[in-house]
Structure 1
Amino acid sequence: MSAIVFAIPGNIDLPTGGYGYDRRLLREWRQMGVEARHLALPGGFPFPTEADLAATELLLAATAPDDILLVDGLAFGAFPEALAARFADRLVALVHHPLALETGLEAAQAAALRASERAALGHARSVAVTSPATATVLSTEFGVPESRIFVAVPGVDPAPRATGSRGDQPLQLLAVGSLIPRKGYDVLIEALTRIADRDWHLTIAGSPDYAPETAAAIETHIRSAGLADRILLAGAVQPDNLGELYDKADLFAMPSLYEGYGMVLTEALARGLPIVCTLSGAGADALPADAALKVPPGDVAALANALARLIDAPAERRQRADAAWAGAGALPRWHDAARIVARACLGGGSREVG
């Protein structure tokens, strides 16, 4: 029987949504008895060196001939077509979102990634994606037949309801995600600057390591806005500590410009948190309307107004928190996502969950 070899670039233990999804698939497959193993690829993707590509080819070639090669999209989208073609008979892609849609790329970089990802996807026997929106993009813009796409939205674990802050503290806002351009933290900071007369404190949990220039610009923006004592950049936060941040939060904010899904939104929903977010991905679309205020991506005024509305209205915050908690029970679970991706690799069964 074929085994799944899950090829993932870089350090799988990093606290990002993509790596978290990958780790959870491997964990679920172990529990389900699906034969699968992790294959670490060089960390240079999505901008690999020639040495990275040579090492990747050797690693893939060293697998058993009947192994199914599931390749995380951070690497897959940057595969040269010849590399994808060599393993086409057993190659499966896992696409969180197309690499070319990452915010902050130069035009030439985006064009190169779009071309390489489209060519590589042409050699995949099937493609697993983490949202219906990404499925649509791949079929309409990257030429992937719908019949080869499997939709496996991220699962959510049951979690205790957030208790929130104490009444003698400022209202605690929480945002989670790496300090990269796509997350829109500059928009959030500018929005909060406009409502600095309210009593709030923001914690941003996310690594500064993926885009150091962006992280430095965010720090400068906070200082120049006079908000250094009101916005905490907590850095990369491990899962146990992140749970504590969710528990102490009163309101969750996600200002992203684009998301393939947006796992943090359903994680906040699972905690019963009221949410202010942008309409930037399938995760926002999945939120109950009575649990979240949703605004256009990049719209500072709309984001500021939504935040001010819930900061100023404790009763509405409680109503939206109750709606979030009520909706948490209907969230998809990780074993569903793992089954769908296993089917993409090994064949058979439904093509969509969630």
Structure 2
Amino acid sequence: MTLWAVLPGGIDDPAAPSGGNRYDRTVLSLLPDVHELAIPGDWPSPGTAARTALHKALADIPDMSTVLIDGLVGCGVPEILEPHAARLRLILLIHLPLSDETGLDPAAADALRAREKQAVHLATTVVATSQAAADRVKTMHDLVRVEVAPPGVDPAPLTEPEPSGRRLLCVAAVTPRKGQDLLVGALQNDLAGLDWECRFAGALIKPVPYEDPRLRFEGALHGAALDDAYGQADLFVLPSRAETYGMVVTEALARGIPVLATAVGGVPEALGTAPDGTRPGLLIPPDDRPALAAALRSWLTGAALRDRLRAAARARRETLPSWPGTASALSAICEGDPR
């Protein structure tokens, strides 16, 4: 099967890493006969040049072709998809519903939600990256079925933990949706008397003010630098207010690092359990700094808890999903035979 893939223009931009871009790039590299069309633009609200480029790209695709469109590109422009919906098999891959982006005013969120609803009803198939996200998209947009192709994770070496558990790591773009402000507040205001250090790896989209020198915002890290950050972490912390899946959760678990995260979207799916049913980390409510501080205190002061979660993380490491499995699932969906 020949697959056409319509992607954001910045998919390979190292200065702007994202889970959606990494998912697209990794899966497409494992599929045969893919024609990629990367469209530059300020998605999901593009200017005239980007809109024209997307329309032309779709118009040039042969009739009856299967076209996988990243939701960031396609979900905000139903009027561009509509002329091509009858002659192309459009598959929308939604990494995050557009209106779930934190910081939108209610009117903007409503407008994006309405446009996304139009777009998904033009598609032959809609795909999400977690069951929780699929359920949300179905409910939000009155769909009967949304397919699921969860992300995989690359194998990685085990991290050697420091007994105290003091080395904390958060890998995510610094935005309100990712909740770094909650983590900074919990550490420097509620847990200042405890022994800890926290590294933040992620593009500084909206920097968080801080005073404690043990908080280190290092910007986006790649390759060996990111591997080094994981290799010097005892606990991975993801305090997101919204999250479709949380690929960084499985990246931490692939190294045997326990995870403290908010129970939002697909994060509980990503965290999963060890074969004996033990959770390899702690889940807390979103936007709840007292709960975050309490969980961090339990970790930093509880040797037995650290030992239990480390054992569970190492066991969970053996059952994590693979990228070839993701590619196989997405291929079956694109071929019209979801498994």
TM-score normalised by structure 2 residue count: 0.92
Tell me what 1:276 maps to: 260
Aligned residue in 2 for 1:82: 79
What's the counterpart of residue 36 of structure 1? 34
> How far is 1:111 from its partner?
1.0
2:198 is matched with which residue: 193, 197, 202?
202
Q: Which residue of 1 aligns with 2:217?
A: 233
Code of the residue aligned with 1:17 in structure 2: it is G
**2:246–2:270 CA contact under 8 A, matched in 1:** no
Between the aligned partners of 1:172 and 1:35, the Cα distance in structure 2 is 44
Superposed displacement of residue 114, structure 1: 0.2
In the alignment, structure 1 segments of 5+ residues that lack a partner are: none
Structure whose residues are more often helix by fraction = 1
Alignment of 1:205-354 (within 5 A): 205-208=201-204, 211=205, 214-215=206-207, 218=208, 221-222=209-210, 226-227=211-212, 229-287=213-271, 288=273, 289-350=278-339
- Alpha-carbon RMSD: 1.6
Q: Which secondary structure state, in structure 2, belongs to the residue aligned with residue 127 of structure 1?
A: strand
Letter in 1 for 2:198: L
- Deviation for aligned residue 1:51: 2.3
AA matched with 2:62:
A
Matches within 5 A, 1:39-188: 39-79=37-77, 81-88=78-85, 89-146=88-145, 149-165=146-162, 171-188=166-183
Q: Secondary structure at the match of 1:203?
A: strand
1:127 deviation in Å?
Answer: 1.1
SS in 2 for 1:260: coil
Does 2:4 match 1:5?
A: yes
| TM-fit CA distance, 1:38 | 1.9
> Residues 132-163 of structure 1, C-alpha deviation per residue, up to 9 Å, x if partnerless?
011111211112221xx220111012211111
- Name the CA distance, whole Å, in 1 between partners of 2:131 and 2:68: 19
Q: Secondary structure at the match of 2:116?
A: helix
- In structure 2, how many angstroms separate the alpha carbons of the residues matched to 1:206 and 1:121? 30
Query: Residues of 2 paired with 1:11 and 1:82: CA distance?
Result: 23
Q: Give the letter aligned to residue 66 of structure 2.
A: I
Aligned residue for 2:28? 26
**Aligned partners of 2:144, 2:324: CA distance in 1, in Å?**
26
Segments of 5+ residues of structure 2 without an aligned counterpart are none
Q: Structure 2: which amino acid aligns with 1:126?
A: T
Q: Secondary structure of the residue that 1:232 maps to in structure 2?
A: strand
CA contact (8 A) 1:176 1:254 kept: yes
In the alignment, the residues of structure 2 paired with residue 63 and residue 286 of structure 1 have an alpha-carbon distance, to the nearest angstrom, of 36
| Matches of 1:50 and 1:144, distance apart in 2 | 30
Moved more, 114-123 or 6-15: 6-15
Q: Which amino acid aligns with 1:186?
A: D
1:269 deviation in Å? 1.1
Equivalent position amino acid for 2:214 in 1: R
Provide the residue aligned with 1:17 in structure 2. Answer: 19
Amino acid at match of 1:162: T
Residue identity in the other structure for 1:190? G
Query: How many residue pairs are counted as aligned between the two chains?
Result: 328
Tell me which of 181, 184, 209 is aligned to 1:189.
184
Query: CA deviation digits over 1:184-240, x for unaligned, max 9?
Result: 1111111112101111111111012xx3xx22xx0xx21xxx21x111111111133
Q: Please report how far the alpha carbon of residue 253 of structure 1 lies from its aligned counterpart in structure 2 after TM superposition.
A: 0.4
1:285 CA drift (Å): 3.8
Render the CA deviation track for 1:263-292: whole Å, top value 9, x for unaligned. Answer: 111111111112211111212244225311
Quick check: 2:247–2:270 contact (8 Å CA) kept in 1?
Answer: no
- Partners of 2:315 and 2:163 in 1: CA distance: 23
Separation of aligned partners in 2, 1:74 and 1:22: 12
Of 2-11 and 291-300, more deviation after overlay is shown by 2-11
Superposition TM-score, scaled by structure 1 size: 0.88
Note the C-alpha offset of 1:165. 4.7
* CA shift digits 1:80-125 (9 cap, x unpaired): x331212213211000121101111111211111011000000101
Distance of 1:55 and 1:197 partners within structure 2 = 55
